[in-house]
Amino acid sequence: MLKRTLIAAGLASIMLTSTITADDHSPFEKQIKARKAVFQVYSYNMGLLSAMAKGEAEYDAQTALDAAGNLNAAAMMKNSTMWPPGSGNDAVEGTRALPEIWSTFPAIGEKAAALTEASTALLAVAGNGLDELKGAMGPVGKSCKGCHDDFRAKKKK
Question: For the chain, which residues make up each domain, given as ranges?
Answer: 29-151
Residue 10, judged by CB atoms within 10 A of its CB (0-12, 13-18, 19+), counts as exposed
Is the preceding peptide bond at 99 cis, omega within 30 degrees of 0? no
* Partner residues linked to 152 by β-bridges: 97
Kindly report the CA angle at 104 between 98 and 105, in degrees rounded to 5?
130
> Cα(82)–Cα(95) distance, rounded to whole angstroms?
12
CB atoms closer than 10 angstroms to residue 138:
12
Q: Domain spanning 29-151: which superfamily?
A: Cytochrome c/b562 (1.20.120.10)
Q: What are phi and psi of 57, to 5 degrees?
A: -140, 150
pTM of the model: 0.81
- CA–CA dist 79, 38 (Å, integer): 9
pLDDT digit of tens for each residue in the chain (157 aa)? 444 433 333 333 333 334 454 455 679 999 999 999 999 999 999 999 999 999 999 999 999 999 999 999 999 999 999 999 999 999 999 999 999 999 988 898 999 999 999 999 999 999 999 999 999 999 999 999 999 999 999 988 7
8 A C-beta contact, residue 36 and residue 98: no
